[in-house]
């Protein structure tokens, strides 16, 4: 999988989530939004991987995670995110919503429309959304 593949998957999962929200299916939308963010972070990890580099085993293992906070660290974005969230309260609030996403919630059919909408907004807000912030770095 390439960086471009991950970027495209991030876009597609976000679009799929919008369709599901519009159809009144919040659980699926919530699930896919998290994967959209995960793919965006993994595109950042791919960008930071040098061609012909033999990657560090620990970094590789940590890259195969669904934990968004851990992936931010693997991507080398922790300091940038901390700096950005200190100076941008809206981004800080959005990251607080997004970081709590878990792939384990895929088994929850009871995710509310409000929770899914909140995650969608936190991910996609043009000015302070997590996905636009990540796209500037991928």
Here the CATH number for the domain that contains residue 72 is 1.20.120
Residues 13, 17, 20, 26, CA torsion sign: positive
The domain tally of the chain equals 1
Is pLDDT at 96 greater than 90 in this prediction? yes
The pLDDT tens digits for 33-89 are: 999 999 999 999 999 887 878 878 888 888 999 999 999 999 999 999 999 999 999
Domain extent for 129: 3-135
User: Residue range 101-122: average pLDDT?
Assistant: 93
Tokens for 68, please give them: 């968004």
Helices (H), 23-129: 26-47, 57-63, 68-74, 78-87, 89-98, 113-124
Given a contact cutoff of 8 angstroms between Cβ atoms, the answer to whether 69 and 99 are in contact is yes
Q: For position 58, what pLDDT does the model report?
A: 86
């Amino acid at each position: 999988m390439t960086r471009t593949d991950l970027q495209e998957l991030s876009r597609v999962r976000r679009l799929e989530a919008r369709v599901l929200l519009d159809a009144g299916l919040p659980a699926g939308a919530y699930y896919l939004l998290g994967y959209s963010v995960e793919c965006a972070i993994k595109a950042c990890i791919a960008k930071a991987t040098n061609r012909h580099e033999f990657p560090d085993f620990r970094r590789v293992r940590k890259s195969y995670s669904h934990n968004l906070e851990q992936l931010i660290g693997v991507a080398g974005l922790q300091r940038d995110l901390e700096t950005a969230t200190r100076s941008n309260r809206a981004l800080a609030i959005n990251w607080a919503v997004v970081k709590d996403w878990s792939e384990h919630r895929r088994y929850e059919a009871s995710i509310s429309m409000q929770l899914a909408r909140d995650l969608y907004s936190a991910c996609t807000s043009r000015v302070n959304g997590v996905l636009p912030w990540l796209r500037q770095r991928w």
